[in-house]
Amino acid sequence: MRGAILAAARSEFAARGLKGARVQAIAERAGCNKQLLYYYFGSKDGLYRAALESVYADIRAQEQGLELGGLPPADAMAALVGFSFDYLAAHPEFIGLLNHENALGAPHVRASRAVRETNSPLVDLIASTLRRGVADGLFRSGVDPVALYISIAGMAYFFFSNRRTLEAVFARDLSASGAVAGYRRHVVALAMAGLLRCGKGR
Amino acid sequence: MRGAILAAARSEFAARGLKGARVQAIAERAGCNKQLLYYYFGSKDGLYRAALESVYADIRAQEQGLELGGLPPADAMAALVGFSFDYLAAHPEFIGLLNHENALGAPHVRASRAVRETNSPLVDLIASTLRRGVADGLFRSGVDPVALYISIAGMAYFFFSNRRTLEAVFARDLSASGAVAGYRRHVVALAMAGLLRCGKGR
Amino acid sequence: MRGAILAAARSEFAARGLKGARVQAIAERAGCNKQLLYYYFGSKDGLYRAALESVYADIRAQEQGLELGGLPPADAMAALVGFSFDYLAAHPEFIGLLNHENALGAPHVRASRAVRETNSPLVDLIASTLRRGVADGLFRSGVDPVALYISIAGMAYFFFSNRRTLEAVFARDLSASGAVAGYRRHVVALAMAGLLRCGKGR
Amino acid sequence: MRGAILAAARSEFAARGLKGARVQAIAERAGCNKQLLYYYFGSKDGLYRAALESVYADIRAQEQGLELGGLPPADAMAALVGFSFDYLAAHPEFIGLLNHENALGAPHVRASRAVRETNSPLVDLIASTLRRGVADGLFRSGVDPVALYISIAGMAYFFFSNRRTLEAVFARDLSASGAVAGYRRHVVALAMAGLLRCGKGR
DNA sequence: AATGAATGAGAGTTCATTCAT
DNA sequence: TATGAATGAACTCTCATTCAT
């Protein structure tokens, strides 16, 4: 039951934010009554924090499953870009929660030790892959791994996060599987071309 | 007074979204009382729509001011990337409004003819610049202008939109002017390197 | 214009009562703006009083037009009953205004000299007709003219005033002209039979 | 508590109508806070419907308690007229609710199955009593029972419903117990005389 | 673990009315 | 005579939360 409440909370908070979400709606989705949420999580805010931590825990688990050390740097980097894209494609709730949390100024993420420690493994992975690629004479040097992570994630994140307005202003269906796949190729190509030294790897 | 209300609404809706924003707070910021909002805009929703259209009208005006036709393709493209970045840096309200609108599924943007017709000029500019660059043998061919716009905008948008959580998980200050300038250089470099054919333009 | 406002006010107050009526709606019906109502009538309440007095003035004028002195008592009485019925049939606004005024405890009617003096002519007419009929041996004696007026008016008033609920609970259309005419015959017959001494007049 | 709210609602809606009634006032009369009304009845409108149905249920119950089958037709009819009068005398809330409901066009009564089925027993009682009286040669024939019900009820209803304006225009106290009793006698006499064939029953 | 009853705080909206022109 | 701008006062309704069971 606790798990069901948490899952319902993730959806509801992702869709409507902390204040916009309705305790009643979460209870209904979870198939229980409101008071049980208080029994388990103390308050709406407590439930929100738990939901937020649970999505960060999930992405951390997935990232730690990545085994790219054995791959050549270019393949490893392409896999990383693809993973970032695919994870966001598969987890719209993660995007919704982050957007609302950022709108609030991210106080809960700041306050949560568990969350703060989440993304480091991915940046480490990027840093080491970059180093290997530079050492091989394959990648441009001087690329900041954090900046690279942000730009790679941003290309995918913005596509999914702002899909509805983009569809409206460009009069394009960006939800069709073909459109998503096409954009994924574009992102991987742009990122790889942006990293590779000329004359190499193509 | 009407203008003051609209400006206050832009801030408040950007910060808290349609439901989260308080009519009272908007009135206070505008220096009038709540009822005047209803007098001018009919409802909270009507005011929200007006605020949304006003920010789109603003960005359209700025984009139409861009005169890149006379520049060489590479310079034009670099200017475009820079403009996208700088506009978002200067207009956090635009980001806030868009995020909340997307969280709702973008019904107001869909419904607004004025907004739907907004972004085309920029994509046309990208498309013609790309064509010129490809004709010069400078840019890779086969790049979709809409995808390119989304990826360029996304790199900047995500940085500003998710700055707070990124600061928390990477334990970095991304708000310092140096950090912003550094990331801007990264984005321009990555985008240009991603577009140029090798051996050209560098 | 003043007349148009008054007519609009009669409809609106009849339909919704003093508090339920909207100043804005009255102005729209009259084809002017709200502020003009204040210019002419000072306040919503002042307009209400004017509307109330105008309908009472109208019914008084109509009643005073009745010339029944020359008719035989039975004919005169039948004409009176018919007139009461027909007036209410033709003036639903009168009914609406009276209902709402009574719901308030009739403070405006009490306060208005003009209104207080309205109905006397009709009761005088009833009283004299009754007297003549009793003198002729035609009518029962001992009938109170005020009570008679109330019962005669009530039979018609209730029919028109409560028509909608009566239609619902009796599943009958009471608005068709046949239904109204049938009920009118019933009322006249019942009243006349109730007044006549037996063996007389039939 | 639910019952207390319903009773308070009956008074308040009867006195001021659906829109005129104040939720706050109902709550105060019931001795609870506003929100509890919403908890039990969902909305002001829902509470209004419940109040309306409860008064109809009450009058139905009272009517069904009438046992007139064993009385001679004239006595039965006189009892019926008296009952109608006395019920209205004792239940001013019923009158207030009906007046306001009719002013709205009776949408709630129309929509409520429970209410629509209410009044039939009384009309059946009138119809059978009329038949018995006609068969005995006592009553006039050709009297429509529904019309008879409306006229009988109307004589009483109008007296109570419009008492305040009648008092004002006739400068009479119609609220004194003597006045009410006198009018009651008048109504019973007029109705019975209106029904009886001449030479019978007197 | 689960639920009906109850409440304080606050939100959006409506409306009569006034003022300046 | 006519109108745009502005406001105080209320009103309905929603919501997170608590308590007793």
Distance D41 CA to F7 C1' (A): 34
Cα–Cα distance, B62 to B89 (Å, whole number):
14
Whether the beta carbon of D141 falls within 7 A of nucleic chain F: the reply is no
Helix (H) and strand (E) counts in chain C: 12, 0
Residues 6+ away with beta carbon under 8 Å from A121? A60, A63, A64
Q: Which B residues 102-141 touch A at CB under 8 Å?
A: 102-103, 105-106, 109-110, 115-116, 118-120, 123, 140
Query: What does the pLDDT read at residue A119?
Result: 64
Query: What does the pLDDT read at residue B82?
Result: 96
Which stretch of DSSP H or E encloses residue C49? helix C44-64
Say whether pLDDT at D117 is over 80. no
Q: What is the pLDDT of residues C124-162, one digit of tens each?
A: 899 999 999 999 999 999 999 999 999 999 999 999 999
The stretch B164-175 carries a mean pLDDT of 94
C117: confidence class by pLDDT, cuts 50, 70, 90 = confident
Average pLDDT over chain A reads 92
CB C108 within 8 A of CB C52: yes
Q: What is the pLDDT of residues A101-117, one digit of tens each?
A: 999 999 999 998 888 77
Average pLDDT over chain D reads 92
- Which chain B residues have a beta carbon less than 8 Å from that of A199? 198-199
Give yes or no for D162 touching C (CB within 8 A): yes
All structural domains of chain B = 53-195 (1.10.357.10)
Residue closest to B63 by CA, chosen among B109, B120, B129? B120
C47: confidence class by pLDDT, cuts 50, 70, 90 = very high
Residues 6+ away with beta carbon under 8 Å from A167? A173, A174, A175, B106
Expressed in angstroms, the distance from the first to the final Cα of chain B is 53
The distance of Cα D27 from the centroid of its chain, to the nearest Å, equals: 26
Residues 6+ away with beta carbon under 8 Å from A53? A112, A114, A115
Cα dihedral sign for C11, C15, C19, C22?
negative
Residue C196: phi and psi, rounded to 5, are -70, 145
Distance from CA of D42 to the nearest CA of C (A): 23
Query: Structure tokens of A15?
Result: 């869709």
Query: What does the pLDDT read at residue D40?
Result: 95
Give yes or no for A202 touching B (CB within 8 A): yes
Give yes or no for B62 touching A (CB within 8 A): no
The distance of Cα B11 from the centroid of its chain, to the nearest Å, equals: 15
Residue closest to C49 by CA, chosen among C110, C103, C92, C136? C110
Cα–Cα distance, D71 to D83 (Å, whole number):
14
- Using the beta-carbon criterion (under 8 Å), do A193 and B140 form an inter-chain contact? yes
Query: What does the pLDDT read at residue B202?
Result: 44
CB C63 within 8 A of CB C86: no
Residue closest to A139 by CA, chosen among A83, A82, A186, A198? A198
- Which chain C residues have a beta carbon less than 8 Å from that of D99? 99, 102-103, 161-162
Whether the beta carbon of B158 falls within 7 A of nucleic chain E: the reply is no
Query: What does the pLDDT read at residue A103?
Result: 95
Task: Report the share of chain D in percent with pLDDT over 70.
Answer: 97
- Which chain C residues have a beta carbon less than 8 Å from that of D105? 164
For residue A37, what is the DSSP state?
A: H
Say whether pLDDT at D108 is over 50. yes
Residue by residue, DSSP assigns B30-95 as HTS-HHHHHHHHSSHHHHHHHHHHHHHHHHHHHHHT---TTS-HHHHHHHHHHHHHHHHHH-HHHH
Average pLDDT over chain C reads 92
CB D58 within 8 A of CB D87: no
Nearest to A168 among B116, B143, B187 (CB): B116
B and C touch with 3+ CB pairs <8 Å, answer: no
Say whether pLDDT at A24 is over 60. yes
Query: Structure tokens of B89?
Result: 């840096």
Of the given ranges (A119-133, C97-111, C147-161, D90-104), which has the lowest mean pLDDT?
A: A119-133
User: Nucleotides on strand E with an atom closer than 7 A to protein CB?
Assistant: 1-20
Query: What does the pLDDT read at residue D115?
Result: 81
- Using the beta-carbon criterion (under 8 Å), do C193 and D195 form an inter-chain contact? yes
Residues 3-32 of B with CB under 7 A from strand E: 21-24
- Which chain C residues have a beta carbon less than 8 Å from that of D16? 19, 103
Say whether pLDDT at A202 is over 70. no
- Indicate the pTM of the whole model: 0.88
**Tally of CB atoms within 10 A around B165:** 25
Residues 6+ away with beta carbon under 8 Å from A99? A161, B99, B102, B103, B161, B162
Cα–Cα distance, B127 to B131 (Å, whole number):
6
Residues 6+ away with beta carbon under 8 Å from A120? B169, B170
Say whether pLDDT at D147 is over 70. yes
Cα–Cα distance, C117 to C57 (Å, whole number):
10
Residue closest to D194 by CA, chosen among C140, A107, C182? C140
Cα–Cα distance, B168 to B182 (Å, whole number):
19
Query: What does the pLDDT read at residue C202?
Result: 45
Helix (H) and strand (E) counts in chain A: 12, 0
Cα dihedral sign for B8, B30, B45, B120?
negative
Q: What is the pLDDT of residues B108-142, one digit of tens each?
A: 999 988 887 776 678 889 999 999 999 999 999 99
User: Nucleotides on strand F with an atom closer than 7 A to protein CB?
Assistant: 1-20
CB C41 within 8 A of CB C6: no
Cα–Cα distance, D43 to C121 (Å, whole number):
48
The stretch C75-103 carries a mean pLDDT of 96
- Which chain C residues have a beta carbon less than 8 Å from that of D194? 189-191, 193-194
The stretch D127-146 carries a mean pLDDT of 95
Mutation for testing the D interface, residue in C123, C164, C172, C183 having most D CBs under 10 Å: C164
Query: What does the pLDDT read at residue D199?
Result: 58
Say whether pLDDT at B92 is over 60. yes
- Using the beta-carbon criterion (under 8 Å), do A102 and B162 form an inter-chain contact? yes
Query: What does the pLDDT read at residue C67?
Result: 85
Cα–Cα distance, C164 to D184 (Å, whole number):
26
A and B touch with 3+ CB pairs <8 Å, answer: yes
Residue linked to tokens 């606004």 = C93
Q: What is the pLDDT of residues A43-90, one digit of tens each?
A: 999 999 999 999 988 888 888 888 888 899 999 999 999 999 999 999
Cα–Cα distance, C24 to D69 (Å, whole number):
56
Residue C33: phi and psi, rounded to 5, are -105, 160
Residue closest to C124 by CA, chosen among B94, D170, A170, A78? D170
D202: confidence class by pLDDT, cuts 50, 70, 90 = very low
Say whether pLDDT at B75 is over 60. yes
Residue closest to D80 by CA, chosen among D120, D123, D115? D123
> Which residue has its C-alpha nearest to nucleotide E9's C1'?
D35
Give yes or no for B79 touching A (CB within 8 A): no
Distance A193 CA to F1 C1' (A): 75
Cα–Cα distance, A119 to A113 (Å, whole number):
12
3-state secondary structure of C12: helix
HSE, CB side, 13 Å, CA atoms: give it for residue B61: 6
- Which chain A residues have a beta carbon less than 8 Å from that of B16? 19, 103
Which residue(s) pair with A93 in the sheet?
Answer: none
